[in-house]
């Protein structure tokens, strides 16, 4: 069966493409290989089958492709998570539609229970990921509130929807005629769609990295089930690999937050308190905030050294004398649109002979690896980027840490206090450095609502206000 061999060869090319994701430059080739693999898959079908109506096929596929292409070229990195969620949802929709049609065709032909079961599973996973992704995407695009939504007896509703989907699926497995099969199938899709909404609605803005990875795995699974239903090795292999990838990322995110997936989906009860709740227009500066910086910079309880009144002078002094600097960027930096300033300040500091690196926490940003692409978009030298586990031992020996728009990822309460939402979460050990300069919007707690003792340490300087302006001032003073 040469056709099967060709499918396996295509899978091999895809696998090679994924293997090449070991560095940014080989990854570019890897991405092209993966695209080629899918293209060959399309070619294989066109060569072996005659499809009609051709007009419908060309128009729909063409429109979808064009829309995807245009959006891809225009999206900024801060909007990437929303874009990925949207595309994910589209994949889920395609999966459940394909599975539905295949299922309804089962009644006509005589296919085994395996095919019907696979089709139903494809429908359920596809519909769940569609609605879940749309909800997640809405949150990520700041079109929906970041607050998780809890319904009365939420778990009961979830169980009810899941049972409904199960029962209707059971009915669909046994159904004999096309009409009842179609009705039952519609019911399954509706129940599954509702399930997706109910699952995703309890996950707030803070936990998005976990949810979006989970949904990524979900669409892979949906594609794999479709593949089982139609007997395509290509669908099955691709879907399985995507499912595995999403699962691995979900696990990494959960570990980085020290939470379990079930806990995240059940909702953490965290209401965002910090700047993360503000829409992207957190950028417009509020003049009244930058002026009384002296009064605000001392978080309650700090006794400023008597001889240093102006925190900016103190910060500039710290950075000027530092021989080693670690920069900790957070999502707040992206919200303030301060990526470029941060990168340029880093280059400025490094150019004067200091050792400068960026320390990235695994859950910084709205999706795994988000902070990296945000910095890359701002033209960072990616050789300056360090992961948490590699950089943590270095903090104690570092002269200065610059925190930009980050709070919970450098919150020592995570390792010093028990019983908080972030207890046990690994953090970047900024509090161990000799001096810390914090450029955050304000001194309010982050998503967790847990106060940050880092702000009150004597070696910490707080520069509140719009990070873009703060950094511009620092750069000018250090030039």
Q: Could you give the residue numbers annotated as active site?
A: 408
**Residue of 100, 146, 448, 464 that binds other proteins (CB under 8 A):** 100
Q: Does 38 bind other proteins (CB under 8 A)?
A: yes
Judged by CB under 8 A, how many residues of this single chain contact other proteins? 110
Hey, which residues between 418 and 457 contact other proteins (CB under 8 A)?
none
Distance CA 297, CA 282 (A): 19
Hey, which residues between 105 and 144 contact other proteins (CB under 8 A)?
112, 114-115
Q: Does 339 bind other proteins (CB under 8 A)?
A: no
Contacts of 186 (CB under 8 A, 6+ apart): none
**Residue of 9, 68, 285, 456 that binds other proteins (CB under 8 A):** 68
**Least CB distance to other proteins at residue 322 (A):** 22
What's the per-residue H, E or C state across 359-372?
Answer: EECCCCCCCCCHHH
CA dist list (Å): 184 to 123, 127, 240, 474: 12, 14, 27, 64
The residue whose two tokens read 């090679």 is 16
**Residue of 3, 5, 45, 393 that binds other proteins (CB under 8 A):** 45
Task: For the chain, give the longest Cα–Cα distance.
Answer: 87
Distance CA 233, CA 241 (A): 12
Cβ proximity to other proteins: between 214 and 395 the closer is 214
CA 213 to centroid of chain Cα atoms: 7
**Residue of 47, 52, 177, 306 that binds other proteins (CB under 8 A):** 52
Contacts of 260 (CB under 8 A, 6+ apart): 254
**Least CB distance to other proteins at residue 261 (A):** 17
Distance CA 89, CA 130 (A): 4
Contact between 103 and 119 under an 8 Å Cβ cutoff? The reply is yes
Hey, which residues between 357 and 376 contact other proteins (CB under 8 A)?
360, 362, 367-370, 372-373, 376
Cβ proximity to other proteins: between 381 and 399 the closer is 381
Hey, which residues between 159 and 178 contact other proteins (CB under 8 A)?
none
Token pair for residue 101? 């049609």
CA dist list (Å): 301 to 46, 112, 314, 434, 468: 71, 72, 18, 20, 27
Cβ proximity to other proteins: between 65 and 291 the closer is 65
Q: Does 340 bind other proteins (CB under 8 A)?
A: no
Cβ proximity to other proteins: between 54 and 303 the closer is 54
Instruction: Tell me the per-residue interface mask from 375 to 414 with other proteins, x by CB under 8 A, - otherwise.
Output: -xx-x-xxx-x-x---------------------------
Instruction: Tell me the per-residue interface mask from 12 to 31 with other proteins, x by CB under 8 A, - otherwise.
Output: --xx--xx-xxxxx-xx-xx
**H-only helix segments in 330-369:** 331-335, 339-351
**Least CB distance to other proteins at residue 357 (A):** 13
Token pair for residue 10? 């295509």
Q: How many CB atoms lie within 10 A of CB 171?
A: 16
Q: Does 226 bind other proteins (CB under 8 A)?
A: yes
Stretch that binds other proteins, among 53-61, 288-296, 320-328, 455-463 (CB under 8 A): 53-61
**Phi, psi of 14, rounded to the nearest 5 degrees:** -60, -45
Cβ proximity to other proteins: between 93 and 438 the closer is 93
Q: How many CB atoms lie within 10 A of CB 285?
A: 14
**Residue of 143, 151, 170, 231 that binds other proteins (CB under 8 A):** 231
Stretch that binds other proteins, among 45-53, 151-159, 317-325, 441-449 (CB under 8 A): 45-53
Distance CA 426, CA 120 (A): 40
Give 177's DSSP letter. S
Instruction: Tell me the per-residue interface mask from 298 to 337 with other proteins, x by CB under 8 A, - otherwise.
Output: ----------------------------------------
Hey, which residues between 233 and 292 contact other proteins (CB under 8 A)?
233-246, 248-249, 252
Cβ proximity to other proteins: between 111 and 457 the closer is 111
Hey, which residues between 184 and 223 contact other proteins (CB under 8 A)?
212-213, 216, 219-220, 222-223
Token pair for residue 296? 């605000």
**Residue of 57, 159, 308, 396 that binds other proteins (CB under 8 A):** 57
Q: How many CB atoms lie within 10 A of CB 197?
A: 16
**Residue of 6, 77, 121, 181 that binds other proteins (CB under 8 A):** 77
Cβ proximity to other proteins: between 64 and 458 the closer is 64
CA dist list (Å): 467 to 300, 317, 357, 432: 21, 18, 19, 23
Cβ proximity to other proteins: between 245 and 302 the closer is 245
The vertex-365 CA angle with 390 and 34, nearest 5°, equals 85
Contact between 470 and 442 under an 8 Å Cβ cutoff? The reply is no
Cβ proximity to other proteins: between 134 and 335 the closer is 134
Among 122, 62, 135, CA closest to 94: 122
């Amino acid at each position: 069966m040469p056709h099967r061999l060709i499918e396996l060869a295509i899978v091999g090319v895809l696998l090679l493409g994924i293997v090449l994701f070991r560095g940014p430059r080989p990854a570019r080739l890897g991405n092209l290989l993966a695209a080629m693999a899918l293209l060959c898959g399309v070619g294989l079908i066109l060569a072996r089958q005659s499809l009609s109506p051709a007009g419908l096929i060309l128009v729909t596929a063409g429109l979808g492709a064009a829309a995807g292409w245009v959006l891809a070229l225009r999206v900024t990195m801060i909007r990437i998570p929303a874009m990925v969620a949207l595309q994910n949802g589209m994949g889920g929709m395609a999966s459940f539609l394909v599975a539905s049609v295949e299922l309804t065709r089962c009644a006509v032909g005589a296919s085994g229970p395996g095919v019907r079961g696979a089709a139903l599973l494809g429908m359920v996973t596809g519909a769940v990921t569609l609605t879940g992704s749309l909800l997640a995407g809405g949150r990520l695009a700041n079109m929906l509130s970041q607050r998780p939504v809890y319904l009365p007896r939420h778990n009961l509703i979830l169980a009810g929807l899941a049972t409904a989907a199960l029962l209707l699926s059971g009915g669909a497995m046994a159904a004999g005629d096309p009409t009842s099969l179609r009705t039952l199938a519609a019911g399954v899709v509706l129940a599954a769609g509702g399930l997706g909404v109910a699952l995703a609605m309890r996950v707030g803005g803070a936990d998005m990295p976990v949810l979006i990875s989970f949904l990524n795995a979900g669409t892979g699974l949906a594609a794999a089930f479709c593949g089982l239903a139609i007997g395509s090795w290509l669908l099955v292999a691709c879907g399985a690999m995507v499912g595995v990838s999403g699962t691995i990322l979900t696990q990494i995110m959960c570990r980085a937050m020290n939470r379990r997936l079930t806990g995240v989906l059940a909702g953490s009860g965290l209401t965002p308190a910090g700047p993360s709740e503000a829409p992207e227009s957190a950028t417009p500066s509020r003049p009244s905030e930058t002026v009384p910086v002296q009064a605000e910079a001392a978080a309650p309880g700090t006794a400023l050294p008597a001889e240093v009144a102006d925190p900016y002078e103190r910060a500039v002094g710290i950075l000027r004398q530092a021989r080693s600097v670690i920069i900790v960027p957070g999502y707040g930096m992206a919200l303030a649109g301060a990526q470029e300033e941060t990168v340029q300040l880093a280059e400025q500091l490094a150019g004067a002979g200091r050792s400068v690196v960026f320390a990235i926490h695994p859950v910084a940003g709205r999706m795994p690896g988000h902070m990296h692409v945000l910095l890359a978009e701002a033209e960072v030298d990616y050789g300056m980027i360090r992961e948490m586990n590699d950089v943590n031992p270095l903090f104690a020996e570092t002269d200065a840490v610059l925190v930009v728009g980050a709070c919970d990822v450098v919150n020592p309460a995570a390792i010093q206090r028990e019983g908080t939402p972030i207890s046990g979460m690994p953090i970047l050990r900024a509090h161990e450095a000799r001096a810390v300069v914090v450029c955050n919007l304000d001194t309010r707690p982050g998503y967790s609502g847990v106060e940050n003792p880092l702000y009150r340490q004597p070696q910490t300087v707080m520069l509140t206000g719009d990070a873009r302006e703060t950094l511009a001032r620092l750069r000018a003073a250090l030039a």
